[in-house]
Structure 1
Amino acid sequence: MIQKPNLATRLQRTASATSLAIALGCTPTVASAQSAPDVTATLPPAAATDGSPAGGIGDIIVTARRREESIQNVPISVAAFGGNTLAERQIDSADKLTQLAPNVQFSAVAPASGNSSSSAIFIRGVGQTDFLASTDPGVGFYVDGVYFARASGTAISLLDVDRVEVLRGPQGTLFGRNTVGGAIQIFSARPNFNGVSGNIGATLGDYSRRDVKGVLNLPITDTLALRFAATKRDRKGYVTNILSGRHLGDVDTFAGRASLLWKPSDKFEALLIGDYTRDSVNGSPTVFGGINTSAAFVRFASAIAGCPGFALTTPVTLVPENNDRRCANNQYLALGPYKVASEAPSKSQLEMYGAGLTLKYEPADWISVKSITAYRKTKPFSIRDADNTPLLILETVNKDNIKQFTQEVQFVGETANSRLKYLFGAYYFRETDYQFYPVFLPSQISATTGEELRVGGLNNNASIKNQSIALFTQESFAVTDKLNVTVGLRYTRDKKEATPYETAAGSGYGYTNVGYNVAYPAPLNAQMVCLGAPRTGAPAAACRGSNIYLFNPVLNSKTSSKVTPAATLQYQWTPELMTYASYSQGFKSGGFNTRIVQPVISANAPTGREFLPEFDPERVATYELGGKLLVGRTLRLSVAGFHSKYDDIQIVVREGVAPVVRNAGKATINGFEVEGTFSPISPMLINFGVGYTHFEYDSFTPALLAGQIGLAPHALGVVDLDDKQAYSPDWSLNGGVAYRVPVGQGAITPRADVAFRSKTYFDAPNTEQIAQGKYALVNISIRYQAPENRFSVAAGITNLTDKAYRGSGNSSLTASSGYAEVTYGPPRMFTVEGTYNF
């Protein structure tokens, strides 16, 4: 039987047939299934590795539709970047993809998480700000085909990356789950049989930055190859706690990966990948964002500290601390973006490891069978000072032990004449987590009894179990040589289970339960103030409330299912011009709020304590028109316009102290993306992207309206119909230019990049105190590449203009806790790096 030509041969034929040249160092990559050199993402010497002349625009192969295709033929709004391209643009972690892709917002610190390795990701106005295991993200995140279910661990280091693909819009008929807003796919470089090879490199910079990395590709036999990659990144934090001297926003990360490829024949291969990541830093770069001095906890904490104008309602003897700098007011805004006065021992840690086995079998030219089996364990831990003041107003500990198993099977093939291409797949997902979330509220040691005066903290603990199954299919039929029709269908069944163990909370960071004497105290009510345990003793009788459950510790179970279709019409006007029209639906299951501090009355919970409050699934239906154009070696252009109807939107609002997920209602999202690469002359390459997202609420659900009864329209903390979606600026632009200057057989390439975002809100009520106005980031670099790419050296500056900008925010100004917090991105930083290739 005649075998299909391998991908490298097909790429050469494609390049020859379309007269495409190999691109300069700032273009996206040609993504090879054999992890061939990233020829379109490097700066070649006199000629490219496949014999094409240097300069111009090369082809890009992506797997956005689970098969290898030129990006020019994919009827999807997709951006792709090679590993070398990312390095040249100084993109070393996943959250920095925001700077490259329009209509994509990727924050490394999810609101209220306190963890520098967690994230909030939004594409085209669809995403999720909550990071809990009881709430699913709105954007699918995949590494080597394996879905990462939690926000924790997605802001990962980009280690030995082959390519990154960013897919916008619902992708439900091709991906395992939760691709309602889009998908980000990261593919690591695979082992190859081209001999022993690899690289070692180091990066130095200000803020005591010291990074080292290494890659080793080791063929063992003609059919077995190993690849190792590791990196160690260190950098001092850029936010200083003026009370403790600790530097927050630091980097202390180790990441390693080992992959084993066995390819005994052209028909079968097995790829085993194991990875490990450890991140341990002083805390996320979160600082004071504002305070409400009328809020109950603020008043109580201020009174304990002896602040002028504050008094306790309960007669107890305290040790006053008449130090005005400890008193709660907005003076802490004057510290600026890179200083904080926090008394909490902030901490951010992550340990994550996993293994995945991908089996691929091609019994015939017309079919391929793939199995992806993976297990992952993620253990995030953080201590967070929510108010970011010297007072104990509200502090949290977040600790999870997340275990995930996934199994996916795909059948991909085509008919003998290639008129019909098909895919059938099945997916299984199982996840467990025990969330341990103590919340610490105002307290003080009594001078007379040595006992602790406490408002009453909480243990927001819960046992979580999530399960999902899906069946999906997609078929593409070539009606004519130019007209192609694609249809897809996906069935999803998700089951969510949560058992709460929410009790009165503990004393100090040793997690000792002391509790309080009533389950739901009113703010500053005398009942809520109770003398708890001495630091070395048992709780006083009046405070033995650790066995008082705020919600009944019973199993809460919710099952959601949905059939979501997709359809696309694609027309190839010429070999260089393609247009398409598509319709797709996305679905994200509902769940339970496991972070609650007050009863929520509902039909099945008449006292508010019988069952956890739940929220329903959300759905997105998107219509998209797009086109792609290639003009010789000079211009590649991609245009897409979309219209989305968003139903039962899951947003986070404040009810009492806690952030809870509610279904907001309906919204319409309109927008577009324009992306391109332009090479007016051979040594120069220009890339650009423009994105626009206009989010508008159409109506609210009765539940959301009921939660805002008695609140004035447009009041602080109220969600209004004219509010924008969180993490969804109207405008997002990026651009870059590189110019290759030959130096002997090598080359020097200066490069400049800019990324712009219009005003961005970080919560559903659009709280101005934590919003970020329009801003632009400028990065520059210069790189020397030696002949035959034996080594390279580079120097770069990120955030050249030293812009202070917010990357995330969280507000509880209207609640009893009365605080706001914001996280700032890094200031201007310098780096010098070198890489030796062998």
Structure 2
Amino acid sequence: MNKAILMASLCAACSLTLAQESGPQGREKKRRDYIEEVIVTATKKAESIQDVPLSVSVLSGERMKNTSIESFEDVSQASPNTDINMTPGYVQVGMRGLNSPINDGMEQSVGFYVDGVYYGKTAFLQDAFLDLQRVELLKGPQGTLFGKNTVAGAINVTTASPDYEPAASVTYTAGDLDTRQADVMVNLPLVADRLALRVAATSSSRDGYVKNVLRGGDEKSVDKDGIRAKLLFDINDRISTELTHYRGSSADTGQGWEPFVLQGAGLLVHSLFDPNLEDRFDYRSHTNSDNRNRFETELTNWLTNWDLGEHTLTFIASRAESDEVLYLDADTASAPVADWFRDFQYEQNMLELRLASGPGKVEYLIGVFGFWSETQQAGDLRMLPEGPLSGLVGPALETLLGLGNLLTSPLLSPVDALLNSLTTDALIQNYQLDTRTTALFSQVTWHLSERLSLVGGLRASQETKEVFLDQDYEATGLLLQAAFGVSEYTLDASRDESNVAPKLALKYAVGDDDMLYASYAEGFKAGGYNPLARNPSEAEFDQEYAQAYELGYKMTALEGALVVNSALYLTQFEDMQIQAFIGNGFLVSNAAEATTQGLEVDVNYQPFAGTSLFASMGIADATFDEFKDGPCQAGSQQETCDLSGERLPRSSEYSANLGGTFVYPLFDNSAALFLGADVSWRSDLFFDLDVDPIDSQDAYHLINLHVGIIDPDQRWKFLVHAKNLQDRKVRRFTADLPIFDGSHMGFLMPPRIITADINYTF
């Protein structure tokens, strides 16, 4: 933490010096006309990012288009202290060193919001990256205004809205891995100053970059489609309403599992089924079963703003539903040992009503929030899906003795029928969860003087969850008990919980363009039920709590061309929800206490028109204060190990992003050369709780380049993008190989991919 304090002190000193150079206090400063003020809705109202007393990183829609940021995984690379894994079926979001485990019964640690609507599952991040105005990353607990499941932060997305000027645009992208994408947007004023429609659609496909050696074909291919329609209706000069409908789908061919350490039984068994089996990362998969994922969503949102003189009344109603089907080779390698099927259906409804005052000495916002969701999951974990002899022993004999399939199959198939009841088995699971949440919230800003303001907030929430969980063996369950320790049971239960989340902040305008703030905030993550519980006594877990302290400095200098924002933070977690693989089963419990502390700095500089430079860095010292019953590394003789003092999984202690864009006029200003580059860097991290050095990623950096020709009037663009220019192999996820101790598997980030896109705006 000493490094963080030192860097923050240097940053503050630099900020104060630049602020003094920008002019004396009280003097009205001239702003460069090409600098646009960054407006965010991080406090449920539109205001300058420089006036918000919390750490916020913002990516504009224009920057994302120009630098080929096409997913939330790309967003995380552009924002230090942020980690987003978008692998289908394995979506994880983390901030400041805290990530949520992958478990359908656990809530997320980072809330996800689109146009003011909360989405209860991280799977919704897989929706098309379509027609976005900006993405805001709110760091730290956001429990007062945003509610539950924001202990680490929130992602606040704003999509483009209709207006009363006709417009249309078309973008086509092509490149490596047979990448193809078409984006279309049409904005139509239907009734002058009263009714407007905006429709945006996308369709994309990309071949997989992992080749399956055993089955042929590729894995990690992605096909995605989405369409969003927004209807704006200004009923009169005081009432405006916006109706949004979105439908989308995505499909892929698996996670791209690769065994990179094979030894003992894992090596013996899996090598019998694939003579080309290898244990290294080289974009070659060896799974014997199909891996596929399909995700479909449909969303409808209704937003109304009513101007009541000095106040604004806002009403949001939303309904969303999704269906995700996942088929996974559960042993992740060559032998036909285990397959897993999951059909996950989810529905949610949300209502929010809030009243915000206008500018004044005392400004306030009060609101009420309601949320209802229904989850249904059907699962099928199948052992020896092809039979014990025909599927497992027969191929092994063929390999060892050189026997042909014509000899072994007739001999073994009749015996298979007799053994199936003892060996070939499945765990059939049905999981249903109903959630009802209500909350009252408020925030008040009291301007004590022209420079000093006090912000106070409070949110009171109540939640009820009802669960029905039934899992049964298809046959005897002998192999399932031995491999995973699961038992047959039925759980029909409910739980109630409540929470009060306060916030207190003090902000002080050091100069006309400088703000110092200090804040205290609390957040919470709801409890629930673990669908992977081995028995009913392990199914329920409680709330997780966070207390956060933050000290920040924001400054604007050089006639608005330079913006430097910095924040020191300390967050303490109690009753942390942990998912651990203990022996042969998944255990979820409130087993740990942890602290994350560090520093965040964002710098944006526009020295002259057409040039933009940006740099950001983060420090996240994220460790367990107490975690005595943690998982042990493979091969340990202990069932649990004391992980107190160890780092949290998926947490890089240091991270940074540096880059810029440059536009140079050509041909008497009839065109312009566009150049862009960015570098993201992350220090080493561990992927698993057991802090096994095998399941880790060393420090790495990725370089992206962007070059092209654009129209100065923004009517057309032609850009070429090179991502991961150095073609580095970076691990995205690793873990112990299922069932076989001592072996490990994982998957990689994409290799170098070069694409080109052409855009025309009417």
TM-score by length of 2: 0.88
Structure 2 contact 139–153 (Cα < 8 Å) conserved: yes
CA distance in 2, matches of 1:765, 1:666: 16
Q: C-alpha displacement at 1:722, in angstroms?
A: 3.2
* Native 8 Å contact 1:332 1:340 kept in 2: no
Q: Distance in 1 between matches of 2:731 and 2:82?
A: 16
Report the CA distance between 1:457 and its aligned residue: 3.0
Question: How far is 1:439 from its partner?
Answer: 1.3
Instruction: Confirm whether residue 821 of structure 1 aligns to residue 745 of structure 2.
Output: yes
- 1:188 maps to a residue whose letter is T
Match of 2:326 among 382, 385, 390: 382
Change beyond 3 A, Cα 1:654–1:455: farther
1:614 to 537, 540, 544: 540
Deviation at 1:337, TM superposition (A): 3.4
Distance change (3 Å), C-alpha of 1:332 and 1:461: farther
Aligned partner of residue 158 in structure 1, secondary structure:
coil
Separation in 2 of the partners of 1:818 and 1:709?
9
In the aligned structure 2, how far is the partner of 1:789 from the partner of 1:428?
42
Write the letter of the residue equivalent to 2:45: R
Cα offset, 1:612, TM superposition: 5.0
Q: Which residue of 2 aligns with 1:537?
A: none
Q: 1:667-689, CA deviations, whole angstroms, 9 ceiling, x for partnerless residues?
A: 12110101111234544321000
CA contact (8 A) 1:249 1:281 kept: yes
The answer to whether structure 1 residue 753 and structure 2 residue 678 are counterparts is: yes
Give, as a single letter, the amino acid of the residue that structure 1 aligns with 2:327. Answer: I
Distance 2:479 2:368 in 1: 46
Alignment partner of 1:19 out of 20, 25, 30: 30
Distance in 1 of aligned mates of 2:71 and 2:569: 29
Q: 1:287 to 1:716 in 2, by over 3 A?
A: farther
Higher strand residue share: 2
Corresponding letter in the other structure for 1:161: L
* Aligned equivalents of 1:208, 1:149: Cα separation in 2: 34
The answer for unaligned runs of 5 or more in structure 1 is 1-15, 22-51, 308-321, 505-513, 529-548, 600-608
Q: How does 1:592-741 map to 2 (within 5 A)?
A: 592-596=529-533, 598-599=534-535, 609=536, 611=537, 613-631=539-557, 632-700=559-627, 704=629, 718=641, 720-741=643-664
Q: Distance in 2 between matches of 1:262 and 1:480?
A: 39
- The change in CA–CA distance for 1:323 and 1:644 in structure 2 (over 3 A counts) is closer
- Asked if residue 333 in structure 1 is aligned to residue 302 in structure 2, the reply is no
Pairing 1:94–2:72 present: yes
Relative distance call for 1:243 and 1:270 in structure 2 (3 A) is same
**In the alignment, is the contact (CA less than 8 A) between 2:337 and 2:383 conserved in 1?**
yes
Q: Partner residue of 1:8? A: none
Give the equivalent residue in structure 2 for 1:808: 733
The answer to whether 1:425 aligns with 2:425 is no
Match of 1:108 in 2: 86
> Quick one: which of 423, 426, 438 aligns to 1:469?
438
Deviation of residue 709 (structure 1)? 13
Q: Match of 2:244? A: 273
Matching of residues 385-404 of structure 1 within 5 Å: 385-404=329-348
Task: Give the distance between the partners of 1:771 and 1:660, measured in 2 at CA.
Answer: 22
After superposition, the C-alpha distances for 1:205-241 in whole angstroms (9 at most, x for unaligned) are 0110111010000110021111100011111110011
Partner of 1:135: 106
- Contact kept, 8 Å, 1:475 with 1:488, in 2: the verdict is yes
**Equivalent residue runs for 1:203-282 within 5 Å:** 203-222=173-192, 223-282=194-253
Cα-to-partner distance string for 1:168-195 (whole Å, 9 max, x where unaligned): 001111114321110001111001012x
Task: Indicate the SS of the match to 1:102.
Answer: coil
Give deviations 1:463-490, integer Å, cap 9, x for gaps: 1112211111110010000000000111
- The amino acid across from 1:240 in the alignment is K
- Equivalents in 1 of 2:30, 2:57: separation in Å? 22
In the alignment, the residues of structure 1 paired with residue 735 and residue 493 of structure 2 have an alpha-carbon distance, to the nearest angstrom, of: 28
Distance 1:519 1:737, change over 3 A: closer
| Pairing 1:126-525 to 2, within 5 Å after superposition | 126-132=98-104, 134-194=105-165, 196-222=166-192, 223-291=194-262, 293-294=264-265, 302=269, 325=275, 332-334=278-280, 336-364=281-309, 366-414=310-358, 418-442=360-384, 443-444=387-388, 445=390, 446-451=412-417, 452=420, 454=423, 456-504=425-473, 514-516=474-476, 521-522=481-482
What is the identity, as a one-letter code, of the residue corresponding to 2:753? M
Which piece of structure 1 moves more, 153-162 or 638-647?
153-162
Could you tell me how far apart the structure 2 residues matched to 1:128 and 1:292 are? 30
Separation in 1, partners of 2:383, 2:262:
15
Is the contact made by 2:173 and 2:179 (CA closer than 8 Å) also made in structure 1? yes
Instruction: Please state whether the residue corresponding to 2:231 is helix, strand or coil.
Output: strand
Secondary structure of residue in 2 paired with 1:647 = strand
Instruction: Encode CA deviations 1:505-530: one digit per residue, 9 max, x unaligned.
Output: xxxxxxxxx32255974469xxx9xx
Say which SS state the counterpart of residue 358 (structure 1) adopts: strand
Q: Quick one: structure 1 residues 282 and 647, their matched pair in 2 at CA, closer, same or farther if it must change by over 3 Å?
A: same
C-alpha distance in 1 between matches for 2:758 and 2:28: 37
Alpha-carbon distance between aligned partners in 2 of 1:565 and 1:496, rounded to the nearest angstrom: 24
Match of 2:707 in 1: 782
Q: 1:394 to 1:519 in 2, by over 3 A?
A: closer
1:575 matched to 2:509? The reply is: no
CA RMSD of aligned residues (A): 2.5
Q: Kindly state the Cα deviation for residue 819 of structure 1 after the two structures are TM-superposed.
A: 5.6
**Deviant stretches of 4+, over 4 Å:** 517-520, 707-713, 715-719, 815-819
Question: Structure 1: how far apart are the matches of 2:295 and 2:29?
Answer: 47
Is the alpha carbon distance of 1:290 and 1:456 closer, same or farther for their aligned partners in structure 2, counting shifts above 3 Å? farther
Aligned equivalent of 1:75: 53
Query: SS where residue 436 of structure 1 aligns?
Result: strand
Q: State percent identity of aligned pairs.
A: 26
Q: Whole-Å Cα distance in 2 between the matches of residues 826 and 158 of structure 1?
A: 18
Paired with 2:77 and 2:483, the residues of 1 have a C-alpha distance of 44
Distance between the aligned counterparts of 2:260 and 2:444, measured in 1?
51
1:454 Cα shift? 2.3
**What is the aligned residue count?**
705
Amino acid of the structure 1 residue aligned with 2:240: E
Q: Provide the rounded CA distance (Å) in 2 between the counterparts of 1:719 and 1:797.
A: 44
